[in-house]
Structure 1
Amino acid sequence: MAAQSPHDLRQKKCLPCEGGVAPYSNDEARAQLKQLEGWRLVHSGERIRKEWTVKNFMAGLKFFNECARVAEEDGHHPDLHIEGYRNVAVELWTHAIGGLSENDFILAAKIDALPIDLK
């Protein structure tokens, strides 16, 4: 599977996944991550994660609201984390397959295009 540009990923819509699809291999995931700045593999390659330091707690919540809006539009929902009131993180994975699918990279590219009020 060839890596796709962030622009190409943002043009797609997440497809429902009920399982039965093989997750990306670590090599496929790493190749795709080269196109997405700041995202990294976590949980033994089953998830991708990106972290930001935002201006303040409310900026983090505003960013998460935007993440939620985009996620709901695509029907693919990330894990959202806020720690120390300014450190936010997003983790993506496809629960139905216990690993990464194209949906995770589509949503990562869309999240990267969201406004965020950094410190």
Structure 2
Amino acid sequence: MQPQTADQLTAKKCLPCEGGVEPCSLAEAKLQLGELQGWYLTHEGQRIRKDWRVKNFMAGIDFFNQCAEVAEADGHHPDLHIEGYRNVSVELWTHAIGGLSENDFILAAKIDQLPIALA
């Protein structure tokens, strides 16, 4: 996988993945993360995550609803976390392959375009 800009990623649609392909390597993931602001690796390089501190609880819920719409449209679904009523996080990985695929970076770039009411 060659690194792509956020604009290149958002122009794509996630492709169905039912397994049978290798996850991207740690080196590939690190290169691609250089194009996405604020995302970082977790779970020994098998997932990416981004954290925000929002204005209030409802701002977090509104953001998650937007994430859900984008995710559903692409058929690729993140884990959404809210803690302490204002700390929200999105975590992505391709469950079928137990690691990262291009789909994760596509969805991350699309999530970055969503409006969010920050604290």
TM-score when normalising by structure 2? 0.99
2:102 maps to which residue? Answer: 102
**Shift >2 Å, 4+ stretches:** none
2:91 maps to which residue? Answer: 91
Tell me, in whole angstroms, the C-alpha distance in 2 between the residues paired with 1:35 and 1:97: 23
1:33 maps to which residue? Answer: 33
Tell me, in whole angstroms, the C-alpha distance in 2 between the residues paired with 1:16 and 1:2: 19
Unaligned runs of 5+ in 2: none
Tell me, in whole angstroms, the C-alpha distance in 1 between the residues paired with 2:108 and 2:2: 17
**Is 1:76 aligned to 2:76, yes or no?**
yes
One-letter amino acid of the structure 2 residue matched with residue 20 of structure 1: G
One-letter amino acid of the structure 2 residue matched with residue 72 of structure 1: E
Tell me, in whole angstroms, the C-alpha distance in 2 between the residues paired with 1:86 and 1:2: 35
Q: CA RMSD in A?
A: 0.4
Unaligned runs of 5+ in 1: none
**Count of aligned pairs:** 119
1:50 maps to which residue? Answer: 50
Tell me, in whole angstroms, the C-alpha distance in 2 between the residues paired with 1:117 and 1:49: 19
**Once the 2 structures are TM-superposed, how far is the Cα of residue 108 of structure 1 from its aligned partner?**
0.1
Q: Deviations over 1:73-114 (max 9, x none)?
A: 000000000000000000000000000000000000000000
DSSP 3-state at the match of 1:105: helix
Q: Deviations over 1:50-87 (max 9, x none)?
A: 00000000000000000000000000000000000000
Tell me, in whole angstroms, the C-alpha distance in 1 between the residues paired with 2:10 and 2:21: 21
Tell me, in whole angstroms, the C-alpha distance in 1 between the residues paired with 2:107 and 2:3: 15
**Once the 2 structures are TM-superposed, how far is the Cα of residue 45 of structure 1 from its aligned partner?**
0.5
Tell me, in whole angstroms, the C-alpha distance in 2 between the residues paired with 1:2 and 1:94: 18
TM-score when normalising by structure 1? 0.99
Tell me, in whole angstroms, the C-alpha distance in 1 between the residues paired with 2:34 and 2:19: 26
**Once the 2 structures are TM-superposed, how far is the Cα of residue 37 of structure 1 from its aligned partner?**
0.4
**Once the 2 structures are TM-superposed, how far is the Cα of residue 18 of structure 1 from its aligned partner?**
0.3
